[in-house]
Amino acid sequence: MAILALIIIGAAAGFIATRLMNRQTDLVTTIAIGVLGALVGGLVLRFLLAVTGLAAGFVGAILGAMALIWLWETYGPKR
């Protein structure tokens, strides 16, 4: 059940993050960005701020997804 919740929250966070950063991605990439962002953002919020809860987790997921997009654009392969 927790994995399903992570995928749903990750999909929503990935969608919001890609729209805020003006990136057009397919559905699978959006979900992957959101899930990885949820993992990164959740860990950072828990360790640095000791914040828990659904709303904080969702905000952390969006911020984590945005950070992943920024890192990929900055340090990823150049086209």
20-71: pLDDT as tens digits: 988 888 888 888 888 888 888 777 777 777 666 677 778 888 888 899 889 8
Residue 61, pLDDT score = 84
Can you give the length of the chain in residues?
79
DSSP string, 34-66: HHHHHHHHHHHIIIII---SHHHHHHHHHHHHH
Quote the number of domains for the chain. Answer: 1
User: Maximum distance among all alpha carbons in the chain?
Assistant: 39
Higher per-residue confidence, 19 vs 57: 19
Range(s) of the domain holding residue 22: 2-75
7-22 average pLDDT score = 88
7-20 average pLDDT score = 88
